[in-house]
Structure formats: C-alpha cells, structure tokens
Chains A and B, each alone.
Chain A
Amino acid sequence: MAGSGTAHMRPDASPVLTVDQMVVEFPVGRKQVVHAVSGLNIDLLPGETLGILGESGCGKSSAGRAVMQEPPPTSGEVRLDRQALTGLKPRELRRARSKMQMIMQDPVSSLNPRRKVRDLVAEGLAIWGFEGDDKDAAVRETLVAVGLDPDVVWDRRAHELSGGQCQRVCIARALMMNPEVLICDEPVSALDVSVQAQILNLLEKTKEKFDFSMIFIAHDVSVVKNISDRVMVLYLGKTCEVLPSTGMETAALHPYTRTLIASIPGGEEIATPGDPVTGPVASDRPMSAAATELPSPLNPPSGCRFRTRCPLATDRCSAEEPQLRPVGEGHFIACHNVAV
C-alpha cells in the first residue's frame, strides 16, 4: 500500500507531462516536517485523463499544486513537453507554465470579485500581450464553448453568477491559454449534484474540442471513474494503485482502494464475497475507530503507510516498503499481501 516505484511508467510513450520522484514537504517548526507527497511518479499522455483519488490529507491537492510549481516541489522533477519546469527562473517558468492551467475547488473564491467576466476571461491574453479586436471575439467564442451566453454575463462580476456559472468562467479562463494540460482540483465538490453533472459533461466536451490532457483530482470514486482513463490512488503521499478506470470497481485490488469503493453508497454490493477487506466480516462489525483514523503526515508509519488501517497487514508491512508491481494490463499495485 502506499508504496513507491516506477513500474507504472510507460517509457516508450511520449508523455506531455512527466513527474519524476516528486517530493513535497512542508516544515512546520520544531524541526518537524509534513510529508505531503513522498516520491510521486506520473506520466500523462496527450489526450489522456488521469484521475487522482484519495481522502483528504492524502496529498492529492499538494501533488496537483506542486506540478504547477505553486509552490515548487521540495525535490524531484516536473517536465512539460520535455522541458523541466523545476529549476527554471521565475520569468521563464511563467512563460513555460502558460501551457498548463488549473481549476480550483471553490469557483467563487478563485475569481477576483471586482473584475467583470470579460476581463476575467481575457486576463491571460492581456498578460501575454494579445491585443486588437480579435480579443473580444476570442473571449466570446470561449464563453459560448463553456455554455455561457456572452451577452448576458459579459459585464457581470462573480457575485452575480451561480457557483456552476463561476466554474464555467474558470474553465473559460483556462481554455483561453489553449492549454496542453488542465489540472482540476476537486472542480465539482463545491457544486450541487445537478450542476456537478453539467460541469463534468462540459469538461469532457471541451477536452475533446480543445484537445488537452487532464489531471482530475477528487475524492469521489464514481466521479473520478466517470471522467478518467486511468486512475491513481494516493494514500499519505504515496501511490497505492494505478489502474484503468474501466471496470475499476471490480478490478481494484489494493486494500485501500477497496475500502474507498466499499464506502460509497451501494459499494458493499460490488465487493466480492470472501473479500477480506470489504467482505461481510469487515462491513458487519463497526470498525474500531482508532484503526480508521488517518495517521499523522508528520510522522508517517514505517514500511507501508497504510498498514495501520489495513486488515491484511503483517510484520513485513512495517519492515519493508512495498513497490508498485504489475498485476494486469495497465494495472499496478503496491502491496505485499494481495495475492495475484
């Protein structure tokens, strides 16, 4: 569980984004360090959507932000189109990074409340020196592409829009830069269920039209499965499992992934009978609460980081860190004890 390794990387492919041994740590005083991300490897192919799944505190947002160099990772390398972003001078970084855009969880607070929609959407163009009449036309076109009526929202500010509309403006802002990679950090968790479906459909549609790759970070298994081609499950800053999204609810093997799937409504029925993690034994008795608490990222468990909550944990798990190993076509897990 929560292990390391590079087995899931595809050396033959030509990825648009590569993350190599990325480590994110935050000092918190008294020489203590939060280990947010510990040795993450990602390769993202053109046109691919990678879902990053995990509960809060597992490092998924820190990972997304570190890819954006916002702030840069403690160590490791991020390459966009073979160009290393880590170590660039600020001015060069800004130029290189314009091909990578991010969408945040709370759409209302990520928009400047004093600016109008037309300025918000045109901001990227203004910064990169796009001038002339075409600017308005380009903004209008993008607003239409995200399902907003330019004549209605043109002069509005964020507070005059609903949450779903604000998220559309955020998507329009990102699209203006014609990105190669779009990083979405929980883009639908602040939205109502009916609006969530609109935004998910919109992301799929624009991805096809504008032809970019996507990293989609979320805690909801069903949402991640819906939008992703490949899913990576994180736990306390380490990768547990990488698998194709098709059929993931039955194919997932890692005890942590199985726990996540079993906790969605109706997830118990998906669990195969006799499954030691989600089978009748584990779901009938209320789990001892201590065993279900996330350990502190200040002092993560030795060996496999999931072992303190894992029903399969043995002595080996505390002594030796599991490495990602292939268990099927495009399917990798980091666990000593799952027999395949």
Chain B
Amino acid sequence: MNDTNELVLEVADLHTVFTTPRGVMRAVDGVSMSLRAGETLGIVGESGSGKSVLGRTVMGLIADNATTAVSGSVRIGGHDVHAMKPKDRRKLWGPEVAMVFQDPMTSLNPVKRVGAHITEALRLHLGLNRKDAHERAIDLLRQVFIPEPARRMKQYPHELSGGMRQRVVIAMALACDPKLLIADEPTTALDVTVQKQILDLLASLASQRNMATILISHDLGAVEGRTDRVAVMYGGRTVETSLTSRVFARPAHPYAEALLASIPRIADAPHTVLRAIEGAPPNMLAPPGGCSFAPRCRLAQDRCREEQPQLREMSDGVRGLHAEASHLGACHFPLTEVTERQEVG
C-alpha cells in the first residue's frame, strides 16, 4: 500500500450511550466511517445530532465508565483506541491524532504562556530538549501565520485575539505531526472574516502534510468547499454520506435536502421565503420509533414511523470508482428524480 493511500481511521458500528438521570441517551447510534491519509471528511448536523460526541469518542476522550457505554471499534493507524489502556492511549494523542475544539480560550491555560503550551507536547511526545522545542515551536507559529512568533511565545492567551488563539491551538495540535486531525466547530466562536482564514489555513496545512482531517460543523457552507466527503448526521446516526460535491448537488435523504434548502443563499433575492424544516430536532432521551426524521419529513409514510431505515447504496452512478465514493443514505423513500418530479407536479 503506498503512503498516500494509507488508511488512517476506521470506525465500525460505533455506539456511545450515556445513562443520565432522565433516561438512556444514544448520542452516537451505530456510525461507521473510514478515512485515508490526505482526505478530508466533513460531519454536519444540527446541535444534538451527536457530531461532537462522535468526534470525542473517535479521539478516545469519551471512554467506557459507569455512566457511559462505548461499543464498536475505532482504529487509528492500526491501534484499537477503545481496547487500549488509558496510558497507551495518551501516547496516540499528538503523534497519531489531535483535536481542535470550538472555543480557543477554554483550550488554552490562562496562566501559561503561548510557548509553554506548544513546547509541552514537543518535549513530552518527541523528547526534544528545551532549546530545540523552543525553536520548533517558533517554526510552528510561523506555519500558522502568526506574526512575530518569537514575541508571541512569551505572551499569555488573553493578550491574543480570538483568531490568533485558534491559530495557537492549531499549532499545538500540529506539534507532533498527527496523521489525523479532528476539528470540532473550529470557527464557530470566531468572526466571519476570521472564519475563512482559519478554514483556509486548516485546508492548506492538511494538504502540505498529507494529513487526514475531520471537520465537524453545523455550518454547511464551511464544509461545502473544503471537504472531499461529507457525512450528514441526524439523531446520532449517519443519514447520508458521499462525496461532498455529490451530496450538495443531489441529496438523496429528505433531511439533507431540507437542510440545504433552509439556509439563505447570498444569490437569492431579498425576502425569498426560506424552506424551513418544521418542528424541532428529536429528543434524544425519547427518540421517535422508526426513522428519527419521520416526524419532520414531508415525504414520511407509515413504514418510516415503524421501521428504522439502514444505510444503503442510493445510486449506481459513482460506484466502482472507489469504495468510499459510494453514495449511502438511510431512507426508505430516498429522493430520486421520480419523487422530485412528483413533488413539482
């Protein structure tokens, strides 16, 4: 197997179940996915769809304990994350997988200087000495386009702006050259103009390093142009996954289609009535039987309320190119040209 095609992540039938005082919550309910080096996967969904819990479970930050049950397997670079001892798992964090969280201020220690955040990982995981780690950290700050990196090393997080802080967090995540980067809503806390810079930066760093990236976001626009493949989550499950361009151009699942139709587009005329999805996301403590989207779906029929649809091939068009290039959807009555024509007629 050549290096560019190496399978970095394999997730099979992953379940994360929380036992809460108010009932059992299946936050992640049977998700499978795989990712190769250099590939970017977008995970989109509304809040409560389980996308962040999925990211954390893949990372191994959520593990089995008294109130949390994780089943299924996560393999990062051949290591089964959830079968490892906690001590061994820590060794994966950094060189194999790293994560960037939503709010950069809470990811940084307010009483430590910027430099200390980055050199810590370098000294611990790569065993560099103080001087080499310092040099390397300055170089990393330069790679994330922080001006005057030597001076920034001595500053504290509160002295930096939100965009700068997120760059520092990205530099920390990249310190040990991870094979997989999980970015969980990396730009949600940032301003619109800064958002684009951070997303562009992540994309260019990933392609330079041939790093696999998972971009978790509720912002469809952020995912559209910057990922190779996308998985749409609803109620803890993947409801549709394929090449990003394909899902955005011809969504098969009614939820994916409705979500795309509900965002205002800049090219639309003012006062265009938006196609809102009626109702609210499902209560994850008491999910509806059958398809979790059925109560809000305009095409729902009796079968949808009784039988949970499984992920299956939605079209033959792209199959055969690549195993992962197939177009999977979990719907009994996916949108095809026929149903769409009926809608119009």
Contacts and interface: CB of A to CB of B under 8 A. Distances in A.
Residue in A162, A229, A265 with the greatest tally of chain B CB atoms within 10 Å: A265
Given A193-B46, A200-B274, A265 B264 contact: no
Contact of A229 (B220, B259, B270): B270
B263 interface: yes
Interface stretch (B100-108, B275-283, B300-308): B275-283
B25 interface: no
Given A288-B147, A292-B197, A194 B262 contact: yes
Q: Interface extent on B, as a size class?
A: 35 or more
Interface stretch (A81-89, A215-223, A315-323): A215-223
Given A195-B280, A290-B147, A226 B193 contact: no
A265 B222 contact: yes
Interface in B263-277: 263-277
B276 A204 contact: no
A293 interface: yes
A55 B191 contact: yes
A226 B192 contact: no
Interface stretch (B90-98, B161-169, B326-334, B335-343): B161-169
B281 A192 contact: yes
Interface string B213-227: 000001111101100
Given A192-B46, A265-B222, A266-B224, A55 B193 contact: yes
Nearest to B162: A56
A226 B274 contact: yes
Contacts of B145: 286, 288-289
A246 B268 CA distance: 9
A227 B270 contact: yes
Contact of A222 (B163, B258, B265): B265
B46 A197 contact: no
Nearest to B221: A265
B159 interface: no
A1 interface: no
Contacts of A162: 280
B201 interface: yes
Interface residues of A, number: 46
A259 B196 CA distance: 11
B269 A246 contact: yes
B146 interface: yes
A69 interface: no
Summarize B's interface: helix, strand, loop or mixed: loop
Nearest to B225: A265
A132 to B, nearest CB: 34
Contact of B271 (A197, A221, A226): A226
A252 B58 CA distance: 44
A260 B164 CA distance: 19
Contacts of B271: 204, 226-227
Residue in A264, A287, A290 with the greatest tally of chain B CB atoms within 10 Å: A264
Given A193-B218, A292-B194, A292-B197, A226 B268 contact: yes
B238 to A, nearest CB: 18
Interface in A176-203: 192-198, 200-201
B135 interface: no
Contact of B263 (A222, A228, A263): A222
A266 B221 contact: yes
Nearest to A309: B193
A249 interface: yes
B47 interface: yes
B195 interface: yes
Given A193-B262, A200-B264, A266-B266, A286 B197 contact: yes
B192 A245 contact: no
A267 interface: yes
Contacts of B47: 192
A270 interface: yes
Contacts of A286: 145, 197, 200-201, 204
Contact of B218 (A192, A204, A225, A294): A192
Nearest to B148: A290
Residue in A195, A221, A261 with the greatest tally of chain B CB atoms within 10 Å: A195
B284 to A, nearest CB: 13
A295 to B, nearest CB: 11
Contacts of A262: 196
Interface in A288-302: 288-290, 292-294
Nearest to B280: A162
Nearest to B269: A246
Interface in A64-113: none
A39 interface: no
Given A55-B193, A266-B221, A286-B200, A221 B281 contact: no
21 contacts: A56-B191, A162-B280, A165-B280, A193-B46, A193-B262, A196-B262, A197-B263, A197-B274, A198-B278, A201-B274, A204-B271, A219-B192, A220-B192, A227-B271, A260-B192, A265-B224, A266-B224, A266-B225, A266-B266, A289-B197, A292-B197
Interface of A: 55-56, 162, 164-165, 192-198, 200-201, 204, 219-223, 225-229, 245-246, 249, 259-267, 270, 286-290, 292-294
Given A264-B192, A266-B224, A266-B225, 5 more contacts: A193-B259, A222-B263, A263-B196, A266-B266, A289-B146
